[in-house]
A = this chain, B = another copy of it.
Amino acid sequence: MERFASRRRCLIPENFFNIRPLLPSLPPPPLHPVTGSPLVPEDLRAIFAPGFVAHEAATETLVPVPAKAMEVLELWRPTPLVRAVGLERHLGVKSRILYKYEGVSPTGSHKSNTAVVQACLAAADGVGALVTETGAGQWGSALAHACTRFGLRTKVFMVRASFRQKPGRKAMMNLFDAEVVESPSASTASGRAASAGDPDHPGSLGIAISEAVEEVVTGGCAKYALGSVLDAVLMHQTLIGQEALAQLREMGCEPDVVIGCVGGGSNFAGLAFPMLGEVLKGRMKCRFVAVEPEACSSLIRGSLRYDNGDCAGLTPLLYMHTLGRDFVPPPIHAGGLRYHGMAPLVSHCVASGLVEPLALGQDEVFRAARAFLNAEGILPAPESAHAVAAAIREALEAERQGFAMTILFNLSGHGLFDMSAYAS
């Protein structure tokens, strides 16, 4: 088998893939946070741009990629599908290990996929600014970059733990002209309530989301953008899995297991859902593994129930695996995985037995990152390193049992902007 599927023979998909029409059952609908009744598009339009709400409500399996978004996506897509021959050799396994590499995007992670689409949709709707939150800074950077390309202003509430650990990410957002605010901040009621006067409160994604949503609701002209969790965001990321399917076909192989790390769930779903679609149509057989950090394991340690996506209870109630909206995760390095909830579609797939959850400790994950760097010459983002570690586990277990399989994982971003985390 070739080490690479030739990128030049793979096309960027013209449509996003919507898994919902293919699922045997759907998760319970989102509820209005105040009335408790099922959300209607009008409710969402109070927060999100109309074009985004239309994507969230999509009922077709294929939803066209906007032409102006495609112009930007072409800068780095299709992304490479790579056979990790160096890692296979390092592990001494017969299994084939493949990774889809999203670190070639302008801000170094898969987040740029949905950021470009959301900025494009907002600009088409005449929205002047997007407000969001960011944990590790990947999402904030991606959105700031995308907004620059579509002439939108950006405001980012950045979780304090990351704000202080990652000045480079803040500087990057500032370069893209984004206003970056340390969260919990004193400028919103949610921020003041969450910090309770503690200026060193580490913050959380849940708190930062509350602040961003509050800013949009009380402001007016800006809309909110979310980097994961919602169906539309997962759908935007399916460019990854659709490309990978075409590239796998070109390589003449099918995966036995597909792996992604999960914080909100979008990079995992982006790779897995198009393949799960094939499985549901009976065209393919394959396992799916969603990997979380042990310190913030909503799929395994959380409960499946309605909860808010944010801390203050301003966002819709989502039916998902949650550690509780007021859970403040420990300051692990994989800041992008420090989230109390999970995408309802990923939660539903886990509850339905279509996807297996796996929680891994930080030491194993860092050892995997190091091994991958040495064997493949790419430093994974701390988040993506969870997927690397799970792929290594699968390969070693198959070897122990004496068989070979094809393992595919999503290398959702590089770690070149997270060197302080690796250094410590």
Does chain B have a CB within 8 A of A303? no
Inter-subunit contact A148/B377 (CB<8 Å)? yes
**A149 surroundings in chain B (CB, below 8 A):** 86, 376-377
Shortest distance between the CB of A411 and any CB in chain B (Å): 11
The stretch among A19-27, A169-177, A215-223 that forms the contact with chain B is A169-177
Taken together as a complex, chains A and B put the C-alpha atoms of A76 and B103 apart, in Å, by 10
Inter-subunit contact A4/B71 (CB<8 Å)? yes
Inter-subunit contact A75/B71 (CB<8 Å)? no
Closest to A419 in B: B171
Shortest distance between the CB of A152 and any CB in chain B (Å): 11
Within 8 A of B (CB), among A1-20: 3-4, 6-11
Inter-subunit contact A71/B3 (CB<8 Å)? yes
How many copies of this chain are found per oligomer?
2
Cβ contacts A356-395/B at 8 Å (1 or 0 each):
0000000000000000011011110000000000000000
Inter-subunit contact A175/B422 (CB<8 Å)? yes
Taken together as a complex, chains A and B put the C-alpha atoms of A80 and B71 apart, in Å, by 12
Inter-subunit contact B10/A175 (CB<8 Å)? no
Listed from nearest, the 9 A-B pairs whose CB atoms lie closest are A149-B377, A8-B8, A171-B419, A148-B377, A4-B74, A3-B71, A104-B104, A75-B80, A175-B379
Cβ contacts A34-52/B at 8 Å (1 or 0 each):
0000000000000000000
Within 8 A of B (CB), among A226-273: none
Would you give 30 A-B contacts (Cβ < 8 Å), ordered by A? A3-B74, A4-B71, A4-B75, A6-B74, A7-B7, A7-B8, A7-B74, A8-B9, A8-B78, A72-B377, A75-B80, A75-B101, A76-B80, A76-B104, A86-B149, A106-B378, A107-B416, A145-B377, A146-B377, A148-B373, A148-B377, A149-B376, A149-B377, A168-B419, A171-B420, A175-B373, A175-B422, A176-B373, A176-B377, A177-B374
**A101 surroundings in chain B (CB, below 8 A):** 75
